[in-house]
């Protein structure tokens, strides 16, 4: 079989460094075309990266380029419309997180993908690591029935929510892709702040590691001095009876990062610290704590694109399935509704 023919919708910051650049390195991928609503941007990217076809209308790209799949890397408010159009034209779809802004959109697109015999899923590069694979194995094989889960993500993103792009990225050259100033700061474009931009990472990890299905969500969110949420806490009851907390903070000092998950089961506990690449576990059969240190074999963003490419070619399945994308949106949609109403929300 030949190369997977891919189009990229959205070539801003992450669409470029997280998708376009890695896909161009993959010997089994052909980036046939790219699109952006901004003509100067898409033309500059096409010239810089040697892409022969570029468009300001993603529909024209899909209609004319004979693609196998598309990457949707635009702002969150555009994900549903663009993903639906791609599925209706029989393409497989990889969507940047947040997958969708509303649960009903996610459910609808999952059903449409099944109807068309295609796949649609969400971009979660953090799951593509040997650390996550080892933790999933240990949770499944050693903890027994889960009782309690805790997940936390923190990183300095407040500058994005304040529209302070130099504060986030420093002074960059003109050819370095950075987000538009409003992409993360305007709720009409971004949906939310820390929940959609960052907590989505940890929620995806939690769901992939456990297979849990959310049932009820209660959340508090603090906007600080912005229009979107910056500090979040969510409590989730899952359908199996497991109770969990998810916290995210975008107002940390510069160069600080925390990504941790804690699982308690009937037979023991496991603690995963992504920043230090370590797993700590102790079960009823252990006399002392066991620690695993797992070094990532390659950068996160270089591991997701090959999986997408090979899924398009029918050589493997996507590691992150559609059900994770849908359940992640159920949690986040419920959390935003709960924070607005002050009530627990069934999801």
Would the pLDDT of 298 be above 60?
no
Whole-number Å distance between alpha carbons of 164 and 248: 20
Residue 170 has a pLDDT of 81
4-8, 77-81, 167-171, 172-176: segment of lowest average pLDDT: 172-176
On whether the CB atoms of residues 122 and 328 are closer than 8 A, the answer is: yes
Q: How confident is the model at residue 304 (pLDDT cuts 50, 70, 90)?
A: confident
- DSSP string across 279-314: EEEEETT-SS-EEEE---SS-GGGTHHHHHHHHHTT
pLDDT above 70 (res 296): no
Residues 6+ apart with CB under 8 A from 40: none
What mean pLDDT do residues 293-321 have? 82
The answer to whether the beta carbons of residues 79 and 89 sit under 8 Å apart is no
Of residues 130 and 223, the one with the higher pLDDT is 223
Is residue 31 pLDDT above 80, yes or no? Answer: yes
At the fourth CATH level, which superfamily is domain 4-124? NAD(P)-binding Rossmann-like Domain (3.40.50.720)
What pLDDT does 179 receive? 85
Residue ranges covered by each domain of the chain: 4-124, 126-299+317-346
Name the fold adopted by 126-299+317-346: Dihydrodipicolinate Reductase; domain 2 (3.30.360)
CA distance 142 to 54: 51
Q: For 40-67, what is each residue's pLDDT tens digit?
A: 999 999 999 999 999 999 999 999 999 9
The per-residue pLDDT for range 222-234, each reduced to its tens digit, is: 999 999 999 999 9
- Give mean pLDDT, residues 298-303: 55
If you average pLDDT over residues 130-156, what whole number do you get?
96
| Contact in structure between 68 and 91 (CB atoms under 8 Å) | yes
Q: Residue 275 corresponds to which tokens in the numbers above? A: 């920043």
Q: Using the predicted structure, report yes or no on whether residue 37 has a pLDDT greater than 80.
A: yes
One fold for 4-124 and 126-299+317-346: no
CB atoms within 10 A of CB 98: 26
DSSP letter at 92 equals E
Phi and psi at 184, nearest 5°, equal -105, -10
Instruction: Let me know how long the chain is.
Output: 347
What's this model's pTM, rounded to 2 decimal places?
0.95
Q: What is the pLDDT of residues 89-126, one digit of tens each?
A: 999 999 999 999 999 999 999 999 999 999 999 999 98
pLDDT at 319: 94
């Amino acid at each position: 079989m030949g190369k997977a023919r891919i189009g990229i919708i959205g070539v801003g910051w992450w669409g470029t460094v997280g998708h376009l650049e890695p896909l161009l390195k993959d010997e089994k991928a052909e980036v046939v075309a790219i699109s952006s609503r901004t003509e100067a941007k898409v033309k500059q990217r096409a010239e810089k990266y040697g892409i022969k076809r570029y468009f300001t209308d993603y529909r024209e790209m899909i209609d004319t380029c004979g693609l196998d799949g598309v990457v949707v890397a635009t702002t969150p408010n555009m994900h549903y419309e663009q993903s639906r159009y791609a599925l209706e034209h029989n393409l497989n779809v990889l969507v940047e997180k947040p997958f969708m802004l509303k649960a009903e959109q996610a459910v609808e697109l999952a059903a449409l993908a099944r109807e068309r015999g295609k796949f649609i899923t969400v971009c979660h590069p953090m799951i593509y690591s040997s650390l996550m694979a080892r933790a999933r194995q240990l949770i499944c094989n050693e903890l027994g029935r889960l009782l309690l889960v805790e997940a936390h993500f923190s990183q300095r993103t407040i500058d994005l929510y304040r529209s302070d792009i130099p504060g986030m990225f420093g002074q960059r050259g003109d050819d370095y892709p950075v987000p538009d100033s409003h992409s993360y700061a305007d709720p009409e474009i971004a949906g939310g702040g820390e929940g959609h931009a960052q907590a989505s990472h940890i929620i995806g990890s939690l769901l992939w590691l456990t297979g849990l299905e959310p049932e009820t969500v209660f959340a508090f969110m603090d906007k600080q001095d912005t229009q979107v949420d910056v500090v979040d806490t969510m409590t989730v009851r899952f359908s199996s009876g497991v109770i969990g907390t998810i916290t995210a903070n975008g107002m940390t000092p510069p160069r600080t990062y925390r990504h941790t998950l804690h699982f308690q089961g009937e037979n023991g506990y496991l603690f995963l610290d992504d920043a230090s690449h370590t797993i700590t576990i102790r079960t009823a059969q252990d006399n002392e704590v066991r620690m695993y240190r797992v070094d990532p074999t390659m950068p996160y963003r270089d591991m997701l694109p090959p999986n997408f490419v090979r899924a398009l070619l029918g050589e493997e399945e996507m590691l992150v399935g559609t059900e994770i994308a849908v359940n992640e949106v159920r949690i986040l949609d419920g959390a935003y509704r709960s924070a607005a109403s002050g009530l627990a929300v069934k999801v």
